[in-house]
Chains A and B, each alone.
Chain A
Amino acid sequence: MIFIIGIFVYLSFNNVLSKLRSIEIIDDVNIALLEMRKAEKNYFLYRDANALKELAKLGEERYEIIQVSKSYVVPILNKSGRKNYDRLLDILKEYLSLANNAIKTKEVPRDFEAKLRTMGQDLTSVSELLLKQERENVSRTINNNVLMLITSLGVILVIQLILWQYFFSLIIQELTVMERMIKMVSEGRFHEVAVKPILPHNEIEIAIKAISDMARKLEKREDDILQAGKLASLGVLISGVAHELGNPLNNISLMAQTYLSVYDMLGDEEKKNFMGDIYNQTERIRKIVENLLDFSRQKKQELQECDLKEIVRVSLSLVANHLKLAKVKQHVAIPENLPPVQVDASQIEQVLVNLFINAIQAMPEGGDLDVNGSYDPQSANLILEIRDTGIGIQKDYLPNIFDPFFTTKSTKGTGLGLSVSYGIIRQHHGDISVESEEGQGTRFIIKLPAMKK
């Protein structure tokens, strides 16, 4: 761009330069013609043949000069300039022929003087006109050039601004992508960040790729943490399950012992009853073990249309024994007609089991566990509130309770339960928050987006 303008400026200044030269020539012509007019004046003063001859001689010389200069000047002149130049030659030719004729015939026609003067005047006026035109031309060209330069500078400035804006918005755009990715990482939605590997073209894209790679690694690690968290809550569940298994086991043992000792005295119907009872107890064990196995299994996230009420029911059944042992009364209030959610049921169960275990552990003297469900049509969220009447959480602990490895239970806790729960809920595009009053109890609020129809 600047190169083109440079060439343009060079050419137009070259043009101005040659025009100036042509002005110089025309100026010379003009002066020469004025000299000739001086001779003309002399003639009019003395009216002798010598003066006329002198005039004719000067005229011839001028004609010669103008003719020679023509090849030089004409290409530079514009159309009207060229016309005027030719006219100059024509008039001079006629002027000379008039003068020469007078010399030859030695006879001066009556109107000779007047004619000569008029033609002389024409000559000067045309040559002056030519000069004036050319001067104007030059100044116009210079003006045009200046205007052109200013305009092109403006244009360059505007183009630069537009380009700058464009690149700036490109950078902003990529930074926005980066910001969104970092936000997703912070929300634990690694899967979305780690989807498309890109071929980096610039520094920002290298950074984006690094974030994407990091998300992929974090996603893998998150699976491990998720499982570790599950195993941690499983450890707590196991103690309850052991007790829960103890009862049916004991029942079977007692039935079998009695059966063996009184076998001889039993009738067929009684024997059948004994076996029926034993079978029922093994069924009880099977269900407990099945629940536990189902909970502990490591699965890839599987989103399915689920009923939140059912998830709550299953989760409560997993901790039923704990509730019983800790004398915690459960109060579930979830309306029947809640919209479904698209979730991995086993993961949400893991969250709820975590929260229930925490609630139970916060109520060593027993208490109430409220589970309330509702639907907020404005945000299209299902809201699950889990409230206990336990010891509460110390105010300065509250901001940290979702941090990994943060625990208030010293060696008894892993600090994984709530951080894993937080990760799971964020992965489901939901939100989990906590409110607590020491000595009053704790309230967890889970928001999960309702399934779009």
Chain B
Amino acid sequence: MKKLMATVLSGLLAAPFMASGCGGTTYAPVSGKVTYNDAPLAGAQVLFQPVGGQGGVAAGVGSFAKTDSEGRFKLEASTATPTAGAVPGRHQVRIALPPAKGTIGQQDSDAANAGGKPITQATNPVPAEYNEKSTLTFDVPPGGTQSADFSLKGPPLPKGK
């Protein structure tokens, strides 16, 4: 009986110290859909960057995803250990199509421009206001959301995109 009490007691003593090491940022599950000129945008990069306060520091790191053939995506945080979701709060959202193979943006190997060959310039078919100069924002609610939907408009995409 005494032994049991001692174990329980030491357990009680140790518990708060063991617990204090854990915890940290919480990431809420976020999923949604991207359309471009009302058609699903497949294979697009989706980046959520928490904006943070005045000092530019947010509660957590940014999140990313790639849309599937129906334009749907599910965010994952850019943490060292894979974690689903995004940190609650305001985010700047950037949506782009990754550059085509064989251009400077996407080489199969470094050989593509070996020997000082002129570089092939890749431009993004999705307008810059949705990516490099993004004006898109999204507020992630504390409980997460399944309707982070974005409908983008712009010039028609080149064929094969």
Whether both chains belong to one complex is answered with no
Q: A-side interface residues toward B, CB under 8 Å? A: none
